[in-house]
Structure 1
Amino acid sequence: MDTDVLIVGAGAAGLALAVDLARRGTRALVVERSATLFPGSRGKGLQPRTLEVLDDLGVGEEIRAAGGPYPVGMIWQDGRRRGEYRMFDENDLDEGSAHREPWMVPQWRTQEILHARLRELGGEVAFGRELTGVAQDADGVTAAFATGAPVRARHLVAADGGRSTVRRALAIPMTGEEVDPHPMLVADVRIEGLDRDNWHVFPPSDTADFLAICPLAGTRDFQIAARFPAGTRIDTGPEGVRATIAARTHLAPEDVTEVRWASDFRPRAALADRFRDGRVLLIGDAAHVHSPAGGQGLNTSVQDAYNLGWKLAAVLTGAADAALLDTYEHERRPVAADMLGLTTRIHRGEARRGAATRQLGLGYRRSPISVETRPDLPEDALRAGDRAPDGAPGGIRLFDAYRGPHWTLLAVGPHAEPPHLPGVPTVRIPSYAPYGDGLFLVRPDGHLGWVGHSPREAARYAAAFVRP
Structure 2
Amino acid sequence: MSTQQDRILIVGGGPSGLIMANELLRRNVPVRLIEKRQGPSHTTRAMTIHARSMEMFEHMGLAHRLEEVCLECPGNIYHFPHLPEDRQPRTDYRVLPTRFPFYYKINQNDFEQVLREHLFAQYSLRPEYRTELTGLEQVGERVRATIRRPDGSEERHEHPWVVGCDGVRSFVRQAAGIEFAGEQVAVMAMMDVELTNVTFDDRWMNYFFNKELFMNCTKLPGKYWRIYMSEPTGEYVNAAEPRRAFQEVADRLGIGFQVGQPEWVTAWEIRNNIAERYRRDRMLICGDASHVHSPSGGQGMNGCMQDAFNLGWKLAAVCQGQADAAILDSYERERKPIGEQISEGAMATHEIVMGFGVEPEERLHYTQEPGWEERTIRLVSGLSHNYRDVVDVPAGLRPLAGPRAGERAPDALLLREPRKRVYDVLRHPGFTLLIVPGADADAQIALGRQVRDELERRFPGRVSSCLIRDARQTQAAHPDPDRAVLARNLGADRADTGFDFDHAVPDETGEILERYGVGAEGRLILVRPDLYVGMVCTPEEWRAVPDYLAQWFGRPATTRADAVGAAAVS
Sort the TM-score into its range (normalised by shorter chain).
Answer: 0.7 to 0.9
The percentage of aligned residue pairs carrying the same residue is: 29
Q: Do the aligned residues in 2 keep the contact of 1:370 with 1:448 (CA within 8 Å)?
A: no
| Alpha-carbon distance change, 297 to 462 in structure 1, aligned in 2, over 3 angstroms | same
Q: Which sections of structure 1, spanning at least 5 residues, go unmatched?
A: none
Secondary structure in 2 matching 1:179:
strand
Residue of structure 2 equivalent to 1:363: 386
Q: CA deviation at 1:448?
A: 1.8
Of 213, 216, 219 in structure 2, the residue corresponding to residue 212 of structure 1 is 216
Tell me the alpha carbon deviations over residues 109-146 of structure 1, each in whole angstroms, 9 at most, x when there is no partner: 22111111111122110111222221112222122234
Residue of structure 1 equivalent to 2:515: 434
Residue of structure 2 equivalent to 1:49: 52
Secondary structure in 2 matching 1:112:
helix
Matched, 1:120 2:131: no
Residue of structure 2 equivalent to 1:185: 189
Tell me the alpha carbon deviations over residues 146-193 of structure 1, each in whole angstroms, 9 at most, x when there is no partner: 44313432111111111212112222111223333xx21012223355
Of 423, 443, 448 in structure 1, the residue corresponding to residue 528 of structure 2 is 443
Residue of structure 2 equivalent to 1:404: 428
Q: Do the aligned residues in 2 keep the contact of 1:74 with 1:82 (CA within 8 Å)?
A: no
Secondary structure in 2 matching 1:125:
coil
Secondary structure in 2 matching 1:55:
helix
**In 2, Cα distance between equivalents of 1:364 and 1:433:** 22
List aligned pairs for 1:69-468, cutoff 5 A: 69-70=72-73, 73=77, 85=88, 88-93=91-96, 95=97, 97-121=98-122, 122-146=124-148, 147=152, 148-180=154-186, 183-194=187-198, 197-198=201-202, 199=205, 203-204=209-210, 209-216=213-220, 218-232=221-235, 234-235=237-238, 240-249=241-250, 256-349=259-352, 350=366, 353-371=376-394, 374-378=397-401, 381-393=402-414, 396-413=420-437, 414=441, 415-416=444-445, 417-418=447-448, 419-420=452-453, 421=456, 422-423=460-461, 424-430=463-469, 432-435=513-516, 436=518, 437-452=522-537, 453=539, 454-462=541-549, 465=552
Q: Do the aligned residues in 1 keep the contact of 2:403 with 2:533 (CA within 8 Å)?
A: no
**In 2, Cα distance between equivalents of 1:27 and 1:196:** 49
Q: Do the aligned residues in 2 keep the contact of 1:39 with 1:261 (CA within 8 Å)?
A: no
Which structure has greater helix proportion? 2
**In 2, Cα distance between equivalents of 1:360 and 1:456:** 30
Q: CA deviation at 1:266?
A: 2.0
TM-score after normalising by structure 2: 0.73
393-402 or 332-341, which moves further after superposition? 393-402
Q: Do the aligned residues in 1 keep the contact of 2:229 with 2:237 (CA within 8 Å)?
A: no
**In 2, Cα distance between equivalents of 1:301 and 1:341:** 15
**In 2, Cα distance between equivalents of 1:86 and 1:142:** 53
**In 1, Cα distance between equivalents of 2:414 and 2:206:** 43
Q: Do the aligned residues in 1 keep the contact of 2:8 with 2:32 (CA within 8 Å)?
A: yes
- The residue identity in structure 2 corresponding to 1:113 is V
TM-score after normalising by structure 1: 0.87
Q: CA deviation at 1:271?
A: 0.8
310-319 or 368-377, which moves further after superposition? 368-377
Q: Which sections of structure 2, spanning at least 5 residues, go unmatched?
A: 353-365, 471-512, 555-570
Matched, 1:13 2:16: yes
Secondary structure in 1 matching 2:41:
coil
**In 1, Cα distance between equivalents of 2:534 and 2:86:** 48
Q: CA deviation at 1:40?
A: 3.2
Tell me the alpha carbon deviations over residues 18-39 of structure 1, each in whole angstroms, 9 at most, x when there is no partner: 1111211111111111112333
- The residue identity in structure 1 corresponding to 2:305 is V
Q: CA deviation at 1:457?
A: 3.1
16-25 or 82-91, which moves further after superposition? 82-91
Count of paired positions: 452
**In 1, Cα distance between equivalents of 2:427 and 2:467:** 16
- The residue identity in structure 1 corresponding to 2:337 is P
**In 1, Cα distance between equivalents of 2:91 and 2:191:** 22
**In 1, Cα distance between equivalents of 2:42 and 2:394:** 43
Q: Do the aligned residues in 2 keep the contact of 1:365 with 1:383 (CA within 8 Å)?
A: yes
**In 2, Cα distance between equivalents of 1:463 and 1:166:** 31
Tell me the alpha carbon deviations over residues 324-380 of structure 1, each in whole angstroms, 9 at most, x when there is no partner: 1111111111111111111111101146642221111222223344447532335xx
Secondary structure in 1 matching 2:172:
helix
